[in-house]
Structure 1
Amino acid sequence: SQTDFDSLLRAADAAMYAAKEAGRNTYQYYSQDALARIQRRLEIEHGLHGAIERDEFSLAYQPLLHAHHGEPPAIEALLRWHRPGIGYCSPAEFIPIAEKCGEIVRIGDWVLSEACRQAAAWDRAGLHFERIAVNVSAVQLRDRGFAERVIEICHAHGWPPQRLELELTESALIRDTDILRHCFDVLERHGVPLAVDDFGTGFSNLNYLNRFPVGRLKIDRSFVQGMLHDSGTAEVTQAIVHLGHALGMKVVAEGVETHQEEDMLRRQGCDEIQGYLYSRPLSPRDLAQWLRQQHAAPGRTDAASEVVLAR
């Protein structure tokens, strides 16, 4: 019957899609599971088109504090996608899909623009913070004109490029192409700081740390969460701190949740600390409130974050 034929065709299509995903030149058997995964993926891809115009994206903001208090904190902007009638979709799920279908370039420009707009508004309101950090995908870096657009976006919102940090993954820095080289030349010329996110989880050839103007290494949360229970992991975090400092970089720990983790990282010489110990990602209004409390009582981070978390 026609419905059986349609089902067979859909199944063959799903198997072909899976074979392409696996690197082509192979074959895949159809499975209900594979079909559900592919349908989910196509549905997210479809939802991403026009999501900016429908105003479905927002940014949440999480502070990064200096290990030795006294200096103003930095702020990381984190992308959130809320689909009306469906709910929140995790960045871990939708960002790889946005990268594959190319939509990440437009979404990334929106994130940069919104982060700079918000940072400039906070700055005008007299709130004290050092820089705003935005995650950038390898696909964005490879897009011609990306670095020029970053500078234009900063100028459009009156935000100094020196106070916009771009967080890159190690995988984004593997290929040393002309486009990448040009991109980093433009960013360096305008003083845009660069950080390597999730450091230690990806690529192990450290050449890129000297090739590109990286100023910060962010220790991945998996190391932070393991270091109290495993001396080998603690040695890794200590090694990352030594490596960063030897190369003239700052080192940031993310995912810090306890005072014990914080104490160990401080002893190891970590420069900045980020995590639920201080604050979870906040709405712009709550982050402004958090910054006001910091400024009123520097060093009293726990009291400030308890107020915010209890809201």
Structure 2
Amino acid sequence: MVVHKLKIQTVPSYISKLKHLRYLDLSDSDISTLPNSITKLQSLQTLKLNHCYRLVELPRDIRKLVSLRHLELHYCHYLSGVPCGLGQLTSLLTLTRFVTDSNGSRLNELQSLNNLRGRLSIRILGLGDLSSRQCSKNATTAEERMDGTNYLEEKEYLKILEVYFYKDEDNQVLLETLRPHPNLKELKIYYYQGVSSPSWMMVDIHLFIPNVVNIDIENWHRCKHLPLFGQLPSLQYLKLYDMDSMEYIDNNTGCGVETLSLLSGEAAAARKREPTLTPTFFPLLKTRTLWDLPNLKGWWRSDAEEEATRTSTIASLPDQQHLKSLPH
């Protein structure tokens, strides 16, 4: 059933009588909610809600849509969260938008959705704890997220990951839990307010996301040095936009934290004894877009000179004239 662009404001509850409905496209509607009765459509496989700009929430019993394969939520800007139980829809292949609060209390709903493919956009809002209203017993605590939990590492079919942070606080703990599978092709992270990058972007990044071709980093206002993107063997396109504090594109430290400091004393000593296996600096980079980086000093800083002088030794910056105005 296709009723998109009709600008309907409500979906009648008797839609539940369409027992054999498999495809429902409500895109470009003016709906703010869906009737919970829609979850009785046990045969529904595709639900499209693209461009439903007023949509605030999904049906609370969405877990009952056991046949659902595709849930499209492009441009649902006012969606405030995902219902408890979404993670039970383990047959989902498409989930274009996932929304949680600033505590990341719903990220555990992603844990079992390992068949997701294509694009996933995660929005972490600056709202109160959603779990306190609906499913506190299933909420993920900060302590649980610190124990090495990762919600995306088994999603081998996911190709594009977007992460948006909408609260002005250090988001490092949350981003630590979102290390993607090595098959990922595109990584886009916006409004990250961490002082340090997550460990998977600093230690052996070329092993964690070796197939990434495109990286888009925007509005990282507290970060002075990028993660070790220069090690990525497949990276071809790099976009850096609106990063007030960034001084060096590659500092061998990942936002000022020494890479070896992430390892235990014995492991760090062993790493120092190993032969250098780090890939060539940006070996396949074709296009870089740098925009609004007012404090950028250079591509990299000489570790040897920094150790000797503890000053900001500036390496030559290729094509400096392009720093402010490379096209998107």
Q: TM-score, normalised by structure 1?
A: 0.29
Choose between structure 1 and 2 for higher RCO, CA contacts under 8 A separated by at least 6 residues: 1
More helix by share: 1
